[in-house]
Structure 1
């Protein structure tokens, strides 16, 4: 046993050699974790999210607790494939995910899919699924490369810029296709700009706070402190909501009903046969505007952080793109998502009925958090886990419970296939049009942006116009 293993054994009360063999089961409250106040833990996590969570595993072992929410409460972190599998496959009435979306309530409201559980979640998800698969996916997959070509052509050249903001604009265009289909709202450009401006609030320290649970006096104080951005966010949200409601009515009045998400939502009914209200439709739309853009934008930004610093990978990709293939590109994307899962800690599950996972008993009201970041970098699962090695995914399919950038179980991301198409299209387009240059050879550290992690410098890269050097090189 090395020193780190010895340290874990001394701190963690669970027999990591196999609780089932000894029959020992401990209460979750006995798990180790920092005794620092939640404000300090939240600050540490917000300013250095990945380093903080790595330090916790190093000190406390693969099962530990943190308190990084306000009001303070413990969250129990799971980091092994066995524990993650148990969480993902638990019955719907044992673990709920609705309250796990509390951080993004300021965008989503509380009536959408993200807040539903059990039969209500299953029914709503089934109703929405056709807007992400089948004919809808074919339509979206045709539109994505065209959007990528147009958007990337307009990105700045020959000067370092934070690519994240431009990438986020692209992902918002794709989500427009998902939500509205070919019926582009008349005021889409205005709504597009409003949504992007509103989401800049996610870079600030107030964004992860549970505003809907905050005492009115504290809420008022925070809103009055203008540099925090809360007042501006709320005003932008009101403007965006007004435009979203306008697009709902515009879509309804047009009589158009396709496989787009808004058409689908206009046809969804409650158990009593009543249609969704415009407020409920708005909640579903804003959930997708947020979750469907922030996550993919972060993943694409991280892709360029790595590609700009690994010339051999970039050149191999260009050669493959010229041949019209994407095997290596798929491996590159899988590796980026392993190292930098957009949501590093999967949506919290709230325990509704007692459950035992890995020798630990969790009681109703407690919260479980599967760490995609720690799982995806487990040295027991991946050789040289911190190294960028796309080759590890050549002819190897990622494990269901050892590679979880899209979550898993009943609430696995509905738009995962769309996100992969977006990543491929933008990488192809940028590498075809541009050379990548960075001044800092070291990979960027991460910073928090509401529930996602983005490069600290927002993927500051210089794009230089590229003249293809190979005969016949171009679009495959």
Structure 2
């Protein structure tokens, strides 16, 4: 038996801690850090007693630890997204699947999605009201949903309309269920989980139709959408992905590439309206055809307003010596993204929204971790940053965003993600259409953005 060496923490029952975390997001972790230091233990509803880390050196060691020693938590989003999703897979299965999913989101294929995103942004922004305040989160949700649907499936049709109606409900519902245990008694459609599984079966039926159509497409090898690439992909032994695994992976991409990106864009609007100097410089940069400050701003929004606050791992080896702590097999480890991002030794003057800290300096991916880290870092990170780049560029090119003297919007928990409490309120005026380089210039370096 390995003798555990762990820091202290609160002894409040797990249910109480879970309710507090959901109803008062972003308050509990800083309070615990202030009381116990940069590491402490909590009673997590899904994982039991867990070590929470915010020490940069210990987090880096965790992310560099091989997956046969530390891997993903067993209770994770895979319960919602399916056993074939990247969240559910571990070890060699995870490595093999990740190898097939990386190509669609890097290099020239990534650049091919830019036009889709700009088209969806222009279409949605044409509906924006002028002269009155409104929440931008619903608009950002529609942009990112339509963009990822087109990137994943390549074209529009009856099934697309069905997914546009189904996915927002399923993603929102699943995000909330993911932080709760699965009940031991199945109450069918009368229970929350039962209603979700009905949505999931509806999704599977729609995707099966899309897979069947794609397999009959004689020009499949000329398509750039993710579905086409996955149908043509092969494992090292020459075998294909099963339809169920494809459905699980596509749901993972649709979910991860939809809500989190949209929420970050709403936070970007919220931040920029409260920092008029940055906003003014961004507009000038757009008009000049540049992108450096805009890319730095996206990084800073993700640092100061991480949509997902926790990264989870579980010890698979008999024991693990992690910095100061000794953990036995099965022990859960949670990395607090917000505590790391607010660490003054990592980011001086961390509470200040200051995009200039990333101008000419790429972030350390063991310290700036809105996409997680290590072998499980989100493979859609480059796509998400490119998408945010295009949406912000188009918005600043076509609209004047009016600053505000109102206080910061509070954090609102949506289950897995945390959004601005008022939905990223905006007040805009349409600009005269620019004819300079900002209309023509693409974010050509988006494919290298972390």
**Fold shared per TM-score above 0.5:** yes
| Map of 2:172 onto structure 1 | 200
Q: 1:96 aligns with which of 43, 48, 71?
A: 71
Shift of 1:386: 1.3
Q: Does structure 1 retain, via aligned residues, the 8 Å contact 2:341–2:367?
A: yes
Q: Deviations over 1:433-454 (max 9, x none)?
A: 2233477711112122232221
The equivalent residue for 1:85 is 60
- Once the two structures are TM-superposed, the CA of residue 68 in structure 1 deviates from its matched residue by 3.1
| Structure 1: gaps of 5 or more residues | 1-24
C-alpha separation in 1, matches of 2:123 and 2:347: 38
**Cα shift at 1:240:** 2.5
2:222 maps to 1:246: no
Change (3 A) 1:280 1:439: same
Q: Tell me how far apart the structure 2 counterparts of residues 361 and 408 of structure 1 sit (CA, whole Å).
A: 21
Among 226, 229, 232, the residue aligned to 1:267: 232
Q: Which residue of 2 aligns with 1:159?
A: 132
Question: Corresponding residue for 1:188?
Answer: 160
Q: Does residue 1:220 correspond to 2:196, yes or no? A: no
Shift of 1:140: 1.4
> After superposition, what is the alpha-carbon deviation per residue over 1:249-290, rounded to whole angstroms, capped at 9, x for unaligned?
121222413443212322345677553332221111111111
Offset, 1:190:
2.4
Distance 2:299 2:171 in 1: 27
Name the CA shift for 1:220/1:161 in 2 (closer, same or farther; >3 Å).
farther
CA contact (8 A) 1:63 1:79 kept: yes
Distance (Å, rounded) in 2 between the aligned partners of 1:75 and 1:86: 17
SS of 1:333's partner is helix
Q: TM-score, normalised by structure 2?
A: 0.89
Which residue is equivalent to 1:105?
A: 79
Pair 473,141 (structure 1): closer, same or farther in 2 beyond 3 Å: closer
Alpha-carbon deviations, 1:218-273, whole Å to 9, x = none? x539x647xxx656544433333321222121212224134432123223456775
Distance 2:435 2:210 in 1: 48
Contact 2:3 2:328 in 1 (8 A): no
Q: Report the Cα distance in structure 1 between the residues aligned to 2:359 and 2:238, rounded to whole angstroms.
A: 49
Please state how far the C-alpha of 1:125 moved relative to its aligned partner: 1.0
Segment of structure 1 superposing worse, 393-402 or 261-270: 261-270
In structure 1, C-alpha distance between the alignment counterparts of 2:405 and 2:3, rounded to whole Å: 47
Match of residue 335, structure 1, among 282, 300, 324:
300
- Deviation larger for 426-435 or 156-165: 156-165
Report what 1:37 is aligned to: 13
Q: Report the CA distance between 1:118 and its aligned residue.
A: 2.1
Number of matched pairs:
436
Shift of 1:43: 0.8
Q: CA separation of 1:63/1:251 partners in 2, compared to 1, >3 Å: closer, same or farther?
A: same
**For structure 2, which runs of at least 5 residues remain unmatched after alignment?**
442-450
Correspondence 1:304-319 to 2 at 5 A: 304-319=269-284
Q: Distance in 2 between matches of 1:95 and 1:203?
A: 25
- Tell me whether 1:209 sits opposite 2:180 in the alignment: yes
Partner of 1:388: helix, strand, or coil?
coil
Q: Identify the range of structure 1 (297-306 vs 261-270) with the bigger mean alpha-carbon deviation.
A: 261-270
1:144 touches 1:421 (CA, 8 Å); kept in 2? Answer: no
CA RMSD, Structure 1 to Structure 2 (Å): 2.6
Contact conserved, 2:145 with 2:254, CA < 8 A, in 1?
yes
1:344 lines up with 2:327 in the alignment: no
Corresponding residue for residue 446 of structure 2 = none
SS of residue matched to 2:26: helix
Residue pairs, 1:65-464, within 5 angstroms: 65-70=41-46, 73-97=48-72, 99=74, 102-106=76-80, 108-181=81-154, 183-201=155-173, 204=176, 206-211=177-182, 214-216=183-185, 220=187, 224=190, 232-255=195-218, 256-257=220-221, 258-268=223-233, 274-346=239-311, 348-353=312-317, 354-437=319-402, 441-464=406-429
**Conserved 8 A contact 1:447-1:454:** yes
